[in-house]
Amino acid sequence: MNPVLVEALRGDTVESAHRGALAVFDADGACVASLGDIERPIFGRSAVKVLQALPLVASGAADRFGLSDTELALACASHNGEAEHVSTAAGMLAKAGLDASALECGAHWPYREAFQRQMAQRGETPTALHNNCSGKHSGFVCLGCLLASQHGDGGDARSFLRGYVRPEHPVMREVTQALQATTGWDMAQAPRGIDGCSIPTYGIPLRHLALAFARVATGVGLSPGHALAARRLRQAVARAPFMVAGTDRFDTRVMQRLGERVFCKVGAEGVYCAALPGRGLGVAIKIDDGNNARAAEVVMAAMIEAHVDLDDADSQFMRGFSDVCLKNWNGIEVGRLRASPVLRQAGAAS
């Protein structure tokens, strides 16, 4: 039974609570902190996009197509579908000589309601470029174009790419191998599901996810190519944190403030991972009930407070995410959303 990590109070009463598990590991595989079951495989979802983007860089595709930091950051993103995200994804595809028709992620309205309304007001409807995964998929397409040229089938990238979301496609095999190499978890034995954007997602224990992100933080335990790629992707996101999420999003706001000291990435269903280079740590979180915005973010904020060296102002900034005032439609304070005592102790004990 996983412990309560986040409490939602109304007045002085705990109205709702979120249970979950977390792991904080170093790159040697030592556990720095943990709560709950960190051995059960959980689907990494979009929290592992930086691991999935390693082949894009390590293969040479990023250099071949001259991808910028902004574009590499988008390859690691679950973005808001704002104008800059959409145009950057289109730009990545154009560098590979393709367009949005190459994407197999499907289309959806931006998750943020305000952006949906703005699009509707302009008479727009969403395309695959608005899909929060369009940057990751554009990266897959770039990788696929490089692989197509290497496969010597006349360079018909379009036909080579078709079905790139399927587990057995050469692009996805590269991506899965990167997951296996960084997490040390055997993907052939892992539970497999289909992600929102149609690529496979694998069940991986939090222990192994935290280890993988400690490796991303330090390069220790990675192949030289993956170590260089991880460093380049972390730096790209630190330089273009807007790309990884967008306006008012946790990942963007935290990395705009803390720069290379934190690489954090949300995933669907209450999954969160982070690489913390300062102390060489990796963090992996899963909220049992799958709640992202109000549970996983609170836990990640508490972990950053506990495991990153912050001055008072930065600590205060992060506390704004781990102990949040809740207001109603009239702007009246009705409660708080906060890290549970158990979660605070786990941080303090580290």
Closest CA to 234 of 113, 60, 27, 53: 53
Does the protein bind a copy of itself through residue 168 (CB under 8 A)?
Answer: no
Stretch that binds a copy of itself, among 78-86, 102-110, 298-306, 340-348 (CB under 8 A): 102-110
Stretch that binds a copy of itself, among 55-63, 93-101, 105-113, 177-185 (CB under 8 A): 105-113
Does the protein bind a copy of itself through residue 52 (CB under 8 A)?
Answer: no
Instruction: Identify the three-state secondary structure at position 184.
Output: coil
Residue among 105 and 310 whose Cβ is closer to a copy of itself: 105
Residue among 167 and 225 whose Cβ is closer to a copy of itself: 167
* Residues 57 and 229: beta-carbon distance below 8 Å: yes
Q: What residue has token string 């018909």?
A: 156
- Contact pick of 29, 37, 41, 162 for a copy of itself (by CB under 8 A): 41
Does the protein bind a copy of itself through residue 188 (CB under 8 A)?
Answer: no
The Cα-based distances of 106 to 102, 195, 252 in angstroms read 11, 11, 24
Q: What residue has token string 């995933």?
A: 267
What's the CA gap between 148 and 340, in Å, rounded? 50
Contacting a copy of itself within 251-290 (CB under 8 A):
269-270, 287-290
Does the protein bind a copy of itself through residue 83 (CB under 8 A)?
Answer: no
* Residues 343 and 329: beta-carbon distance below 8 Å: no
- Contact pick of 21, 38, 42, 258 for a copy of itself (by CB under 8 A): 42
Rg (CA), the chain: 20
What's the CA gap between 23 and 7, in Å, rounded? 19
- Contact pick of 184, 203, 259, 278 for a copy of itself (by CB under 8 A): 203
- Contact pick of 66, 121, 152, 311 for a copy of itself (by CB under 8 A): 121
Instruction: Identify the three-state secondary structure at position 299.
Output: helix
Q: Is 329 exposed, middle or buried (0-12, 13-18, 19+ CB in 10 A)?
A: exposed
Find the shortest distance in angstroms from Cβ 198 to a copy of itself: 5
Total chain residues near a copy of itself (CB under 8 A): 54
H or E element at residue 210: helix 206-218
Residues that bind a copy of itself (CB under 8 A): 1, 8, 10-13, 15-19, 41-43, 104-109, 113, 116-121, 123, 131, 191-198, 201, 203, 269-270, 287-291, 295, 328-332, 334-335
